[in-house]
Amino acid sequence: MHGVPNSLRGYLDAASTEPLHPAAREVLAEAYDAGWADPSRLYGSARRAQLLLDNAREIVAAAVGARPDEVSFTGSGTQAVHLAVLGTAAAHDRTGRHLVVSAIEHSSVLHAAESVPSAEVTRVPVDRSGLVNAHAFAEAVRADTAVACLQAGNHEVGTVQPVGEVARLCAERGVPLVVDAAQAIGRAAVPADWAVLTASAHKWGGPAGVGVLVVRRRVRWRSPSPEDERGSGRVPGFENVPGAVAAAAALRARLAEADELNRRHSALVDLIRSRIPELVPDVEVVGHPTLRLPHIVTFSCLYVDGEALLTELDKHGFAVSSGSSCTSSTLTPSHVLEAMGVLTHGNIRVSLSRSTTETDVERFLTVVPDVVARVRAITGVDGL
Give catalytic residue positions: 326
Cα separation, 35 vs 48, in Å, equals: 7
Nearest to 76 by CA among 213, 205, 195, 193: 213
Spatial contact of 102 and 155, defined as CB atoms under 8 Å apart: no
Residue 2 CB burial class (10 angstroms; 0-12, 13-18, ≥19): exposed
Long-range Cβ pairs for the range 26-34 (8 Å, 24+): 26/249, 27/245, 27/246, 27/249, 28/207, 28/242, 28/245, 28/246, 31/241, 31/242, 31/245, 31/246, 32/242
Q: What is the dihedral sign for C-alpha 342, 129, 107, 156?
A: positive
Q: What are phi and psi of 229, to 5 degrees?
A: -80, -10
Nearest to 101 by CA among 336, 374, 354, 344: 336
Cα separation, 50 vs 130, in Å, equals: 42
- Cβ neighbors of 315 (< 8 A, separation 6 or more) are none
The edge-to-edge listing of strands for the beta sheet with 347-351 is 283-286, 296-301, 347-351
CA distances from residue 269 to 16, 186, 204, 255 in whole angstroms, order as listed:
17, 17, 18, 20
